[in-house]
Amino acid sequence: MAIEGRDEIHAGRIRLGMVGGGQGAFIGAVHRIASRIDDKFELVAGALSSTPEKAKASAAEIGLDSKRSYGTYEEMATAELARDDGIQAVAIVTPNHMHFPVAKRFLEAGFHVICDKPMTTTLAEAKELAAIARKAGKVFVLTHNYTGYPMIRQARAMVAGGDLGRIRVVVAEYAQDWLAERAEDAGSKQAGWRVDPAKAGAGGAIGDIGTHAHNLATYVTGLRVETLSADLSTFVSGRQLDDNASMLLRFENGAKGMLWASQVAVGNENGLTLRVYGEKGGLEWSQEEPNKLWYTPLGEPRRLLTRGGAGAGPAAAAVSRIPAGHPEGYLEGFATIYGEAAELIRAAEAGRAPPDGLALPGIEDGVDGLAFIEACVKSSDEDGAWTRLGR
């Protein structure tokens, strides 16, 4: 039952810096754990907070050398560039509005970038960053982490391999309930910036979680959304951004879809689900039970494929660590993004092509995500007019 690793010789740890992720942040700790799980990174520097005392305390809390705990990201970029043992890559885990300037700075300074999503706060910024990244020739990885789940890889491989035939219908949902009341008034740092357009961008629920659902739908089906018709709502009074979004989708091959993103759906914790139906079969997956994938070949009984189990193929196995029945979770999926990012970075630094089979989201997915957000807002503003994604 052992799952074999990809490397025969340990290739050493990539030196990583982090921007954001200080005390009280959720996603910074997630990135740090994810970077450690497969032992391919070593966190050696950080600008963990824009508040100097907090940056210092945060660095002490995670055991970062105080000399490499910086007050600002600019300072970190400059100082690390000057070191022989400076960082090779940076993880950007700030609120959304800082993704662009930080990523720009580090890409232009010659660092590889691992950036949280959504990539920027506007489509224009996203396109500009894409141009910067292309020019810099550095690795840019966007942590649409749900693409790291083995059974998502399995689903993607099955669609690509034709098991479902031509895709007809895609239903993507991401339902939560943590913003059903004004969590932003209760001192939640997480809630605070997510409902603030200056920090989050034009999308509330669509930016925070809708982009994940959109990304997952396109990642698994290999189809892009051409146009959408959206209805955004703000149910909690006093809030500026959407907290519920429902929309119809039309994909490039003629497939039809629905997408629902809500942060007011009481009873849902992190209900990201994807259902894909083709001429020859159907697939259903839920993030809260990520080791399972329901597969129904047309005219046959439903089958429950499991990570590591009899029905799972090489795409899932390549990103699994433990045998079937031992659940892998969110952090392992996230770690897979880091693991594949390491492969890309090593290949880039060695001037060789990356290994086959990597499948992680990057700069184009980031542009696509912002195109999605802006199309949602525009369509909703125009009473649901079908709106083309402006990539």
User: Which of positions 34-93 make contact with a second copy (CB under 8 A)?
Assistant: 36-39, 57, 60-64
Sign of CA dihedral 22, 23, 27, 32: positive
Asked if 330 interacts with a second copy (CB under 8 A), we say yes
d(CA 308, CA 86): 39
Binding mask 132-171 for a second copy (x = CB under 8 A): --------------------------------x---xx-x
Q: Which stretch binds a second copy (CB under 8 A): 113-121, 210-218, 246-254, 342-350?
A: 246-254
Residue 325 interacts with a second copy (CB under 8 A): yes or no: yes
193 binds a second copy (CB under 8 A): no
Closest CA to 51 of 25, 32, 27, 30: 25
Q: Binding residue for a second copy (CB under 8 A) from 111, 260, 285, 372?
A: 260
* 101 vs 132: CA distance, rounded Å: 11
Closest to a second copy by CB, 15 or 74: 15
Nearer to a second copy, 238 or 267 (CB): 267
Strands 256-262 and 244-251: antiparallel
User: Which lies closer to a second copy via its Cβ, residue 353 or residue 383?
Assistant: 383
- The rounded distance, in Å, linking the Cα atoms of 345 and 32 is 17
List of residues 6+ apart from 64 with CB closer than 8 A: 43, 44, 45, 46, 48
Collapsing DSSP to helix, strand or coil, 7 comes out as coil
* Nearer CB in complex with a second copy: 82/300: 300
Among 14, 16, 19, 25, indicate the residue that binds a second copy (CB under 8 A).
Answer: 25
- Any contact of residue 13 with a second copy (CB under 8 A)? yes
Q: By CB under 8 A, is residue 229 in contact with a second copy?
A: yes
Beta carbons of 279 and 164 less than 8 angstroms apart: yes
Phi, psi of 251 (to 5 degrees): -95, 165
Report the residue number, 150 or 362, with the smaller CB distance to a second copy.
150
Answer for which of 207, 308, 362, 369 binds a second copy (CB under 8 A) is 308
Say if residues 304 and 292 touch (Cβ distance below 8 Å): yes
Look up residue 68 and give its two tokens. 């490499």
* Cα distance between residue 333 and residue 65, in whole Å: 28
**Among residues 36 and 224, whose Cβ is nearest to a second copy?**
36
Which of residues 182, 321, 378, 388 is near a second copy by CB under 8 A? 321
Nearer to a second copy, 134 or 326 (CB): 326
Please tell me whether residue 26 binds a second copy under the rule CB under 8 A.
yes
Closer of 103 and 232 to a second copy (Cβ)? 232
Q: With binding defined as CB under 8 A, does residue 271 bind a second copy? A: yes
Q: Which of 78, 235, 253, 390 binds a second copy (CB under 8 A)?
A: 235
Question: How far apart are CB 66 and a second copy at their closest, in Å?
Answer: 11
Cis peptide before 118 (omega within 30 of 0): yes
> Between the CA atoms of 181, 207, 140 and 271, what dihedral angle is there, to the nearest 10 degrees?
60
